[in-house]
Structure 1
Amino acid sequence: MEPLSLGLLVAVMTIVVLFSGVSVASGLLIVSAGFLLVFDGMRSLELMPEIFFGKLNSFALLSIPMFIIMGAAISSTRAGADLYEALERWLTRVPGGLVMSNLGACALFSAMSGSSPATCAAIGKMGIPEMRKRGYPDEVASGSIAAGGTLGILIPPSVTMIVYGIATETSIGRLFLSGVMPGLMLVGLFMAWSIFQTWRFGSPEVLAQRSYTLKQKLEILPRVIPFIIIIIGVLYAMYGGIATPSETAAVGALMCLVIAMVIYKLWSPKKLWTILSDSTRESVMILFIIGAAGVFSYMLSSLYITQSIAAWISDLDVNRWVLMGIVNLFLLVAGFFLPPVAVILMAAPILLPIILAADFDPYWFAVILTINMEIGLISPPVGLNLYVINSIAPDIPLKKILMGSLPYVGCMVLAIVILCFFPGIVTWLPDLVMGPV
């Protein structure tokens, strides 16, 4: 069978298997084993364990469970609520300040946890009831938190960026820096839309302002500043040449645990055990997908599917931007059905040679890919953040949450367009700190 026809068959079978309800990792292993057995014989099956564990034999992978522990420690405390309350006190006189407070808290919490669902849950538990109480429409209250939560996979430290770096063998430190300016740009676009929404829905209830004294504004800061210091310290250690990303992640995880115990009195062994057990569960899930994706990539390469697809796309007589448009459409559709980690591990090794051949920067592409994955987090049928918000506020129909998040999807699409015209937004900071590639 021709490699391209075989590739189409692999794609169809992968979709069928994943939609059968099995886990992503198990589905990739089943498809890989089946095609290797049929088209390459038993010899290839003998290599599967070696490939699986070989993919996990990387020191860089240590940063994944460490950053997950860092996020879990923060998520188990009132840090999200304190962030929200601090920003709400300082932005109370700004039109739309409550929504902006939630978005700002999402951005800061994302930088500490690196997790979109955790950000939605932590900020949403405080922000959604407060916005509804002040008279904001349900769509605005739920949609802003759902969208703000997506920043967790773009603003560093991001587990998604780590996975991309491992899958494509690119610098994780440079990837982190590449996400900073686009992340801030997205926060700005989200806030701009929030101000417009507040003006559009403007009513006495929505525009009502609470008054806080300077003392009240300052008294909340000691509970927030330590976590911000950790973020700055982690980034300084990484880019100051003091430690590798994995070592920095380990120190950051330890410091977050210490702060959670000292500031938030998280002394209970049961609670600490919950943090570690939940982190272990999530880490194993991600690492299992990484190992399975390594086997899947080997199967595609062994059957010459990857090479044939790359050659076919390279031979297409189309403008490089048309090619990028096709790639974006593919990523967008894939993000509707699969989690970001799975899409990156399956697609990045195939797409990267094509991107490089079209003279696009791999770090710029990482940001474009990540924003596409952000859109998938608030788009059905998977739309993980939509369901997290629905679990926080079950009386808000899923349809309203979706309608509230759609304008932020437009902001993300606009961000992709802006980055296409001004790629320097991505590359400026990495080049400044680490030098040109």
Structure 2
Amino acid sequence: MDPLFLGAIVAVATILVLFSGVSVALGLLIVSGGFLVIFDGMRSLELMPEILFGKLDNFALLSIPMFIIMGASISSTRAGADLYEALERWLTRVPGGLVISNLGACALFAAMSGSSPATCAAIGKMGIPEMRKRGYPDGVAAGSIAAGGTLGILIPPSVTMIVYGIATETSIGRLFLAGVIPGLLLVGLFMAWSLYSTWKSGDTNLLSARSYTWKERFEVLPRVVPFLAIILGVLYAMYGGIATPSETAAVGALLCLLIAIVIYKLWHPRDLWVVLRDSTKESVMILFIIAAAGVFSYMLSSLYITQSIAEWIGTLDVNRWVLMGAVNVFLLIAGFFLPPVAVILMAAPILLPIIITAGFDPIWFAVILTINMEIGLISPPVGLNLYVISGIAPDIQLKTILLGSLPFVACMVVAIVLLCLFPGLATWLPDAVMGARQ
């Protein structure tokens, strides 16, 4: 059978299995095992356990549960509320300042937690009711938090970037640095739109807010600075050559737990158990998907599907930017239905050879891919962040949340265009800090 036709059959079968409701990891194993048995016989199943566990035999994977614990310990405290309150006190007199405060809090909390749903939940619980009380439209209040929450998978430390680095054998340190400037660019675009929409509305109620004294502005900072210091310390240790990503993640997780215990009184064993339990569940889920994706990639390679797709695309006589446009469309559609980790693990091994052959930088492509996944987080039918916001504010219709997030989707598209025009936005900082690649 022609490998390209077989690849189409595999794609359809995978979509049907995943849409049946089974978990992503189990669905990948079912598809992989089924096609291996059909084309290679029952003996091929003997290799599956070895591949499954071999994919997990990677020291870099240790950073995933550590960063998740780091984020969970922060999410279980009032750190998100303190971030929001601190920024709200400093930006209270700025037109649209409350939306900007929420977006800034989302960016900072994302950097501390690395989780989009956690960012939405932590900032949204306080931000959405406050914006609605001040007179901001429901769509703006909900959409800004949903969009701001997506920054959790781009701004370092990002679990999504770690997964991409492991799947493509790319430097995790470079990937973290590559996400810094694009992440700030997205924050800037989100804030610019917020300022414009507030100015355009002409609603003076949005500009009037309580005035805070300098004492009130500074008194909230001591509760926020320690967490920010940990993030900066983790990044310095990683890029200063002091420790590996896994080692810095472990130290960061320990320090975040200690600060949560000391500053936020998270000392009760029941509270600590919840942090560790939830972190373990999320870590196991991600690691299981990674292992299953390893088997799936082996199946694609064993049946010569991956190689055939790369060769076929390589023979196409099309402009490389047309090719990149097609890749972006594919990633957008995939992100509508699957979580970012699953898309990366399934698509990266196939797309990376194509990207490199077309002359694109794999570090730059990681940022493009991640922004596409961000769009998926606030787009139906899956749109995880939309449902998180719906849970926080159940009286706001899902349609209103979606419409409120659309301008921010446009900002993400603009960011992708800017990255295509100026790839140095993603590649300059990694090269400046870690040296140019050979």
Please give the TM-score of this superposition, normalised by the length of structure 1. 1.00
Deviation by residue 1:187-225 (Cα, 9 ceiling, x = unmatched)? 000000000111122313212121000000000000000
Deviation by residue 1:321-348 (Cα, 9 ceiling, x = unmatched)? 0000000000000000000000000000
| Equivalence map 1:366-385=2 (5 Å) | 366-385=366-385
Deviation by residue 1:252-282 (Cα, 9 ceiling, x = unmatched)? 0000000000000011100000000000000
Separation in structure 1 between the aligned mates of residue 296 and residue 425 of structure 2, nearest angstrom: 34
Contact persistence 2:113–2:152 (CA under 8 A): yes
Separation in structure 1 between the aligned mates of residue 109 and residue 201 of structure 2, nearest angstrom: 27
CA-atom RMSD, angstroms? 0.5
Separation in structure 1 between the aligned mates of residue 362 and residue 8 of structure 2, nearest angstrom: 26
Where does residue 30 of structure 1 map in the other structure? 30
Give the CA deviation at 1:32. 0.3
Where does residue 221 of structure 1 map in the other structure? 221
Deviation by residue 1:155-208 (Cα, 9 ceiling, x = unmatched)? 000000000000000000000000000000000000000001111223132121
Give, as a single letter, the amino acid of the residue that structure 2 aligns with 1:202.
G
Where does residue 15 of structure 1 map in the other structure? 15
Give, as a single letter, the amino acid of the residue that structure 2 aligns with 1:235.
L
Where does residue 416 of structure 1 map in the other structure? 416
Deviation by residue 1:59-79 (Cα, 9 ceiling, x = unmatched)? 000000000000000000000
Are 2:78 and 1:78 equivalent residues in the alignment?
A: yes
Separation in structure 1 between the aligned mates of residue 216 and residue 202 of structure 2, nearest angstrom: 27
Deviation by residue 1:126-163 (Cα, 9 ceiling, x = unmatched)? 00000000000000000000000000000000000000
Separation in structure 1 between the aligned mates of residue 89 and residue 280 of structure 2, nearest angstrom: 36
Where does residue 241 of structure 1 map in the other structure? 241
Where does residue 149 of structure 1 map in the other structure? 149
* Ranges in structure 1 where 5+ consecutive residues have no aligned partner: none
Where does residue 298 of structure 2 map in the other structure? 298
Deviation by residue 1:345-399 (Cα, 9 ceiling, x = unmatched)? 0000000000000110000000000000000000000000000000000000000
Contact persistence 2:95–2:206 (CA under 8 A): no
Where does residue 311 of structure 2 map in the other structure? 311
SS of corresponding position for 1:125? helix
Where does residue 387 of structure 1 map in the other structure? 387
Runs of 4+ in 1 over 3 A off after TM superposition: none
Contact persistence 2:92–2:211 (CA under 8 A): yes
Separation in structure 1 between the aligned mates of residue 176 and residue 44 of structure 2, nearest angstrom: 36
| Equivalence map 1:347-362=2 (5 Å) | 347-362=347-362
Separation in structure 1 between the aligned mates of residue 89 and residue 436 of structure 2, nearest angstrom: 41
Separation in structure 1 between the aligned mates of residue 417 and residue 303 of structure 2, nearest angstrom: 36
Identity %: 82
Separation in structure 1 between the aligned mates of residue 367 and residue 203 of structure 2, nearest angstrom: 38
* Ranges in structure 2 where 5+ consecutive residues have no aligned partner: none
Where does residue 176 of structure 1 map in the other structure? 176
Give the CA deviation at 1:293. 0.2
Give, as a single letter, the amino acid of the residue that structure 1 aligns with 2:203.
S
Separation in structure 2 between the aligned mates of residue 307 and residue 422 of structure 1, nearest angstrom: 30
Give the CA deviation at 1:5. 0.5
Where does residue 112 of structure 1 map in the other structure? 112
Where does residue 134 of structure 2 map in the other structure? 134
Give, as a single letter, the amino acid of the residue that structure 2 aligns with 1:40.
D
Contact persistence 2:93–2:208 (CA under 8 A): no
Contact persistence 2:131–2:141 (CA under 8 A): yes
Separation in structure 1 between the aligned mates of residue 77 and residue 131 of structure 2, nearest angstrom: 22
Number of aligned residue pairs: 437
Give the CA deviation at 1:28. 0.2
Deviation by residue 1:82-129 (Cα, 9 ceiling, x = unmatched)? 000000000111111000000000000000000000000000000000
Where does residue 337 of structure 1 map in the other structure? 337
Give, as a single letter, the amino acid of the residue that structure 2 aligns with 1:177.
L
SS of corresponding position for 2:111? helix
Where does residue 69 of structure 1 map in the other structure? 69
Separation in structure 1 between the aligned mates of residue 203 and residue 433 of structure 2, nearest angstrom: 46
